[in-house]
Amino acid sequence: MKNQIVDVDAAEWKSDSTQNNWVADLEAGKVLHFTRLDFPISALDRHFFTPQIRHSKSRNISLDASGNLKGALGGDQIQAGLSEMMGRFRSQSLSLVNSYFSCYKGYLRLGPTSFRPSLIETRNQSWRADDRRLHVDAFPTRPTDGERILRVFINVNPDKVPRVWRVGEPFEKVVERFLANTAPYSAWRAKALNLFGVTKSLRSEYDHLMLQLHDAMKQDLNYQHNSPQLTIEFPTGSVWVCFSDQASHAAMSGQYMMEQTFHLPVSNQHDTHAGPLAILRRYTGRELI
């Protein structure tokens, strides 16, 4: 279990190292923890560090790929300042993924940047939405057809409160534990969900299985408490990166974090036999998309 988290002792957001295992570790579903990167927070940025800055109807504040800010309260100056801080994290994240994982360069599609100012501990959510339970990321409205979800996280807590995660067992073990009990895929149901606009595109069998695994993990309290896992504290300033559709994770406590999403086509992985789609294909013997 211990090696599900790999420390990267580098001080720069850019790397020209060629002798490393970073991509292999990432594609094996590990969490890469950059312990020494610097991300300065200015006095102006500090004005945004209050949970009241988030619109009560939005889960997070987000900056979409075209630069539109959503979910934040406050006038033009606040909106512009927030966009600037999040945009700065976006460009640092881009530089990090393009150089540390240089084989992905040119193939990553930019997703949203989010700023999460709320205290995790006091969030009140249904079991399915509760990210304090171990899970792999899979979203009911957004089928991916196997496209990878690569995420860069940073703890920006100004009071040095760590963000505490649990990291679970490798994806293969999750599949071995839960696949047999997943409900069968219904192409008819997937069509209906798409027709009624519940999903943004047709939910494939792959996406169906990922949602089933996500739900089965979260629903099983025995699994939550007793499965192999480790707890890690990410101190203020820490940056960590993983394929969140593969690395089992749970966010237990903390406040003030930013996250940048990237999407990677399966065909542009370094090892196209790695990742949830290939693993699920092996276990089911079906194409799934």
Q: Which is nearer to ligand SIN, 90 or 132 (CB)?
A: 132
Instruction: Specify the amino acid at residue 122.
Output: T
Q: Minimum Å distance from CB 33 to ligand SIN?
A: 13
Q: Which is nearer to Fe ion, 13 or 206 (CB)?
A: 206
Q: Minimum Å distance from CB 71 to ligand SIN?
A: 15
Q: Minimum Å distance from CB 163 to Fe ion?
A: 13
Interacting stretch for Fe ion, rule CB under 5 A, among 89-97, 136-144, 225-233, 275-283? 136-144
Q: Minimum Å distance from CB 272 to ligand SIN?
A: 25
Q: Which is nearer to ligand SIN, 151 or 203 (CB)?
A: 151
Q: Which is nearer to ligand SIN, 136 or 274 (CB)?
A: 136
Q: Minimum Å distance from CB 208 to Fe ion?
A: 18
Binding partner at 90 among ligand SIN, Fe ion, none, C-beta below 5 to 8 Å by kind: none
Q: Which is nearer to Fe ion, 137 or 147 (CB)?
A: 137
Contact 86, 63 (CB under 8 A): yes
Interacting stretch for Fe ion, rule CB under 5 A, among 19-27, 84-92, 132-140, 195-203? 132-140
32-71 positions binding Fe ion, by CB under 5 A? none
Our finding on whether 137 is near Fe ion (CB under 5 A) is: yes
DSSP result, the chain = -GGGEEEE----S-----S--HHHHHHTTPEEEE-S------HHHHTT-SGGGB-TT-SSEEE-TTS-EESB-S-HHHHHHHHHHHHHHHHHHHHHHHHHTGGGTTTPEEEEEEEE-S-GGG----TTT-TTS-B----TT---TT-EEEEEEEE--TT-PPEEEEEE--HHHHHHHHGGGPPPP-HHHHHHHHHTTSSSSPPPHHHHHHHHHHHHHHH-HHHHHHSSEEEEEE-TT-EEEEETTTS-EEEEE---EEEEEEEE-GGGSSSTT-SHHHHHHHHH-S---
Residues within the interface to ligand SIN (CB under 6 A): 116, 131, 163, 244, 249, 251, 257
Q: Minimum Å distance from CB 128 to Fe ion?
A: 12
Our finding on whether 147 is near Fe ion (CB under 5 A) is: no
Nearest to 82 by CA among 72, 92, 95, 96: 72
Q: Which is nearer to ligand SIN, 164 or 279 (CB)?
A: 164
Binding residues for Fe ion, rule: CB under 5 A, are 137
